[in-house]
Amino acid sequence: MAYVDNVRMFARVYELGSMSAAARDQRVSAAVASARVGALEAHLGVRLFQRTTRSLTATEQGRLFYEGAKRILEAIEDAESAVTDVTQNPRGSLYVSAPFSVGRRFIAPQVPAFRAQYPEINVRMRLSDRKVDVTAEALDLAFVLGQPEDSTLKMRVIADCRRVLAASPTYVARRGMPADGDALVAERHDCLLLRFPGAPEFQWTLETTDGPRRMAVDGPFASDDGEVLTGWALAGEGIVLKPVFEIAEHLASGRLVPVAAATPPQPARLAVLYTHRRYQDPKSRLFIAFMAERLSEDVRRAEAAAQLPR
């Protein structure tokens, strides 16, 4: 198994772009990760990565080897799944991604219960509010809020989640209560933006009497972490667009209040994405079924707790 371990480590370094990140992912030291990749390079007689003190880049030979290595590792996973008793002894690592808030507050707390039920499944979880590439990042599945752009992926819908524009009473007292999206733009309200490097001009899609309408909004603060935006909103720094279930406790307590209620945001779909091949793996099927039931109930309960009028 040493050679397979070396190939698996190489693949994770390639996918994550970092020796230290791959080492953490595989729960070994950076020295062990480097040694495994070095042993593989010695066996093949080629350099798989160009290394400097600040960067690590795959060579042409590394890119070619990764394509074949990926197929080998997938074949091994499929072979292991084929001989595994799905209901009694599923095993192996499951690579999962989720948005920060959903992952931290709703998925991560359920993982120990899943692990207790399936003790041979290791959950490798990554959190990010950016759009992830399920295939390129070698994920088994990805929880998302919103409509996926990649039509080649399979999707299981968990819940259609109500969203709200919200601000603190301090902000409303200082800047006024915008009645709708037009007032939001005309009065130049401070909007808190979920933005990533290279993102285009930011727009919010709001429901109007004439149907959905995209409105260009702006503000002094932006972040790629939605929970940072919630913190700024609570501090009175601006207006945030959020799923109700993420900020339900703040809405119920009055620390955040709905604004521009005449033109609410469109709902966001909470779903899990996966490739057809990944879903054939019993680990993925079990995790999706386990989490989907619990997440849909969590969303329903949180939306009810927010005590917002329909």
Domain boundary (35, 51, 83) is at 83
CATH no. for residue 239?
Answer: 3.40.190.290
Pairwise CA distance, residues 282 & 81, whole Å: 7
Q: Which residues pair with 93 in a beta bridge?
A: 122
Pairwise CA distance, residues 78 & 60, whole Å: 28
Pairwise CA distance, residues 103 & 246, whole Å: 11
125 CB-near residues (< 8 Å, 6+ apart):
96, 97, 98, 103, 107, 108, 111
Question: Which own/partner pairs from 198-207 qualify as long-range (CB within 8 Å, at least 24 positions apart)?
Answer: 204/165, 204/241, 204/265, 205/265, 205/266, 206/180, 206/181, 206/260, 206/263, 206/264, 206/265, 206/266, 207/263, 207/264, 207/265, 207/266
Q: State how beta strands 240-243 and 163-167 pair.
A: antiparallel
Q: Is residue 45 included in any domain, yes or no?
A: yes
Pairwise CA distance, residues 164 & 145, whole Å: 14
Q: List pLDDT tens digits, range 164-191.
A: 999 999 999 999 999 999 999 999 999 9
Domain boundary (83, 104, 119) is at 83
Average pLDDT over residues 196-212: 76
Average pLDDT over residues 71-91: 70
pLDDT over 90 at 195, yes or no: no
Q: Is residue 196 included in any domain, yes or no?
A: yes
Phi-psi region of 254 (alpha: psi -120 to 50; beta: other; left: phi over 0): left
Average pLDDT over residues 252-275: 93
Q: Is residue 6 included in any domain, yes or no?
A: yes
Q: Is residue 180 included in any domain, yes or no?
A: yes
Give the distance, in angstroms, between the CA of residue 230 and the centroid of all CA atoms in the same chain: 17
pLDDT over 80 at 253, yes or no: yes
pTM as predicted: 0.69
Q: Is residue 141 included in any domain, yes or no?
A: no
Residues 167, 258, single domain; the answer is: yes
Domain of 69 in residue numbering reads as: 1-83
If one counts the domains in the chain, the total is 2
Q: Is residue 11 included in any domain, yes or no?
A: yes
Q: List pLDDT tens digits, range 101-158.
A: 899 989 999 999 999 999 999 999 999 888 888 888 888 999 998 766 656 788 888 9
Which structure tokens are listed for 25?
A: 């992912």
68 CB-near residues (< 8 Å, 6+ apart):
none
Q: Is residue 101 included in any domain, yes or no?
A: no
- Going 21 to 27 to 29 to 35, the CA torsion angle's sign is negative
- Going 139 to 143 to 146 to 148, the CA torsion angle's sign is positive
The secondary structure element, H or E, covering residue 243 is strand 240-243
pLDDT tier, 78 (very low <50, low <70, confident <90, very high otherwise) = low
Which structure tokens are listed for 42?
A: 């010695």
144 CB-near residues (< 8 Å, 6+ apart):
99, 131, 132, 270, 271, 272, 273
CATH no. for residue 42?
Answer: 1.10.10.10
Q: Crossing angle for the helix pair 30-44 and 2-16, nearest 10 degrees?
A: 110
pLDDT at 130: 82
Q: Is residue 238 included in any domain, yes or no?
A: yes
Domain boundary (61, 83, 105) is at 83
Pairwise CA distance, residues 143 & 126, whole Å: 10
